[in-house]
Structure 1
Amino acid sequence: MHILISGDSLALPRPHNPKTYDYGTETELAVNFHDTYGSLLQFGLQKLYPNAPIQVTNRAQRASTIVHIFNNLQDHLFFFQPDVFILHVGLVDCWIRPELETKQYVQIDSFISYYHSLLHYIQKKPKTKCIIIGICPTSEKMYNRYPGLDNEIKKYNLILNQADEQQFFFIDMNKHLESEPLNQYLLPDDQHLNKSGNKLIYKQTLKIIQAIIETEHGVDLLQQGHGEEAKLAFLRAFRHYPYYLEALYRILDLCTSSLNDNSTFNRIQRFYQSTHLIDSRIDDIITKHSNLHPQ
């Protein structure tokens, strides 16, 4: 599996203070390379799947906006050909800039246009799954310094969370940070991830990637005629990340097509119907099953 990260400085190592960092004398960084979530993914996945080739390519660049990422998309998506494309963008775009008379590097209309174009090209490779990491909230100090910044972060996050849930996965960082002190996950600049913040993203992305790996393994088992083993793989995917629609579809389809496992079918059906997920394939299976097994 090849995972590629395209983003800004939040995915990169970072010194304690970039403005005063002395390249000649300072050796200790606030976030070392091996502390970044990309590096954690590389070693974590290798440990979990020692017999599977795992490659994490970190192509993030400092000060990148969605414009920079879109301009590099041909390389990153079509030439590197990742199985999982991690998109980590938005903070540089939405931050209010006093030097621009409180405007932003990429204003919302332009951000929307580039983002929709980017999604369009990713959809040309439907086997490539895309994990989109939302913009982290910042501190009251920053909100007071840059009035309206909190609303801008929310607006840009709403755009990032508009992708189709079959191929795209959005990680809402606000949900993970709103109940905790920000300095637990962010550096003193109230913008960049510290070591714990990188671990947080690592854990969230790992769940999704494990669900993708287990689902692909289940499909391989199914093609070899191992239905029960395939079901177990799909259920492992469900435990890792229960919102992965491909895994839900595979479990339900298998339970009705060959295994006749009503108990598992009903459990997954109840979960699916309790969420706001939408998948026409799953809806069709549930409708057919209901017609054959009326309550």
Structure 2
Amino acid sequence: MAQAAEQAVEQPSGQAAQAGPATIGNSEFDRDTAVTLREEGVYDAELSAGWTIIHAVNGGYLLAMLGRALGQALPHPDPFSVSAHYLTASVPGPAVIRTQTVRTGRTLSTGQASLFQYAEDGTEVERIRVIATYGDLDGLSDEVRTSAKPPAIPPLEHCLGPSDGPAVIPGSSAITERLDIKLDPSTVGWAVGQPSGKGEMRGWFGLADGRDADPLSLLLTVDALPPTSFELGLKGWTPTIELTTHIRCRPAPGPLRVSITTRNLAGGFLEEDADVWDSADRLVAQSRQLARVPRS
């Protein structure tokens, strides 16, 4: 992360943003994922209530916060591969992140981090544990060999957002106010009681304040769309058990396209495979997560 961005994120959460579209390093996302160095390897943080989904803090937001801490702790700037295990549900409020450098090489460094919150008796409760490899996306080769293609999504103006229908997930409005998501109409049957039965979710994605995407915000993007379980006819919170994200290149400015697919629901768990494409038709991020099926 650029030095200017690191300085900007140390502003306290809730500080008014500058007029006009937000910028990388000066946005609500940056302020709400800010971490403050307490001592070597230990960072204080505040989980914002603005990124909750059905009263729980969104897993992608948490991943971005730990990603920011690791970006400050490790010698390389950009997340390449981040694997997280979600141990207990996080809630808005204070938290502490403890990082450890596992290995440092010439082009890659690996570290681990855990986020803790406090029980009523003051003891620490581990919420999420991450191991990640960082590098420099600007130093990657330009060579691309791929059979992957951007998802076929209707133009943004023909897609649907939260304002196009009633709220169908009680308690979920906080995060939707901070995201600019327009879903492919073919994946929103769940919103009108007619789920397709297919484990698919596709749409356009951006931050509501206009901040462009960067490698850190991509960690949020992969876990920001409604879960595919909705289109399978299931309702309720779909808690993430494990999430692995690969950041493939630095995204170009402009809206992102996200495609998420579930092929197998069994034993009370499902997987979600996500691809994220930027405005230059490049595959900028991929992820796979294991999630628990909503309990009826």
Query: Could you tell me the TM-score, scaled by structure 2's length?
Result: 0.31
- Higher relative strand content: 2
Query: Could you tell me the TM-score, scaled by structure 1's length?
Result: 0.31
Q: Which has the higher contact order (CA 8 A, sep 6+)?
A: 2
